[in-house]
Structure formats: C-alpha cells, structure tokens
Amino acid sequence: MPPSFSAEFRTELHRLLAWRRDVRHFRPEPLPEGTLERLLELACLAPSVGLSQPWRFVLVEDAGRRQAVLESFLACNQEALKACPTERAGRYARLKLAGLQEAPHQVAVFCDEATDQGGGLGRRTMPEALRYSAVLAVYTLWLAARAEGVGIGWVSILDPACVHDVLQVPAQWSLVAYLCVGYAVAEDDVPELERAGWERRCPLKRFVLQR
C-alpha cells in the first residue's frame, strides 16, 4: 500500500519548507563522512523528464580550482555592482552573496545536455526540460540537507564558461548551480535578503491568474 502521511508529518513538511534558507555564513567543520554522498543519493530521487536524470554533480575539493571559482565570483560581483541602480548600489555592496570562503564543501551541478537516458522522451518541444530536471535535483538536495541540519547556498554570480573550464567537464554539460554546503552559523525562517531590506516575499495572488 502507498504510504499515508499524517497531519503531524504535513506540519513538519511545512516547517521544512519555511526554514529552508540560502545560506551564506558557514561553520568550518566538514560534514560527517558519508553525509554528502547520502544527500546526493536523495537528490537523485528528483523527477526528471523522460526519467533522463541529466544532473551531474562535481565535488570541488581542489584548492586551486576553488580559488579560481572565487575569483570568477569576485569579478562578476564587481560588474553586477557597477550595473546596480544608484539607489540600491550601497545596499547591494553590503550584502553577503556567497559563502565560498567558508563553506567546507562545494558542489557544482551540471546538466548533461546530450544524455541518451530517457530516449529523448518529453524533450522534443521543450528541450529546456532537461535543465529544469537538474534544478529539481538541486531543490530535492536542498530540502534533504535542511532536514539534517545542513545548509546550502546557491552561488549564481559566476561566469558559467569559466567554471566549465576550471572544472574541465565535458563540453555537453551546462552549469545549473554552484552550491556551498555545510553547517550554517545561524538559522532563521526569514530570508536573509528580506532581513537586509533588499526584497520581500509577495502574496500568492500576485502569481496566480485565471483564464
């Protein structure tokens, strides 16, 4: 029989969703041995178009490669600051937008755009569904990690071509996410960008249309 989920479980699931955060401040200690691998196994339970499982995880452990990724972030972040409207530039400069220097683990998530798995099912009219599938794996990983008290920060202020070259991955792999992973210094159920006054969550009615 399929499982039945109790009201208590649903309440806990709601709390898990509410307490998932994009972490920027990490403690230095690494995760216990085997923890990251177990979380990645759970990430592979994510749905994927045609059961293609196009996600590819690269564990970035080499100090030189990490430094190159950090330099890409710093350069891209400086360009983003220059392009920021004057009234928001100061606020942007005060934001901490990456945990690259503190996180004990870094994981680059790619999408294999040329995978044969799944036989191309569901991709003919929407080939981007492959990348959407990889994003679902990222979110599944995020929730699984948060359930174990592990924080994840998604770094998007990077040059994908630079990361691709630094990590020397196959040409048909496209960068989907660069993740910092570890234990958070502090936890909060309010997004850091909201606490910093950058943006606020909007109500459901803004996102729902009827036709």
Q: Where do the structural domains in the chain lie, given as residue ranges?
A: 22-187
Length of the chain, in residues = 211
- The class of domain 22-187 in CATH terms is alpha beta
| CA nearest neighbour of 61 among 69, 53, 49 | 69
pLDDT given for residue 35 in this prediction: 98
pLDDT given for residue 206 in this prediction: 97
Q: What is the DSSP string of 129-144?
A: HHHHHHHHHHHHHHHH
pLDDT given for residue 156 in this prediction: 95
Q: List Cβ neighbours of 207 (8 Å cut-off, separation of 6 or more).
A: none
pLDDT given for residue 194 in this prediction: 92
b/e per residue, 31-49, with b = 16+ CB within 10 A?
A: beeeebeebbebbeebebb
Q: What is the mean pLDDT of each run of 10 residues along the chain (211 residues)?
A: 95 97 96 98 99 99 98 94 84 86 98 97 96 99 98 97 98 98 94 90 96 97
Q: What is the DSSP string of 136-188?
A: HHHHHHHHHHHHTT-EEEEE--S-HHHHHHHHT--TTEEEEEEEEEE-BSS--
pTM, whole model, 2 decimals? 0.95
pLDDT given for residue 90 in this prediction: 81
pLDDT given for residue 85 in this prediction: 84
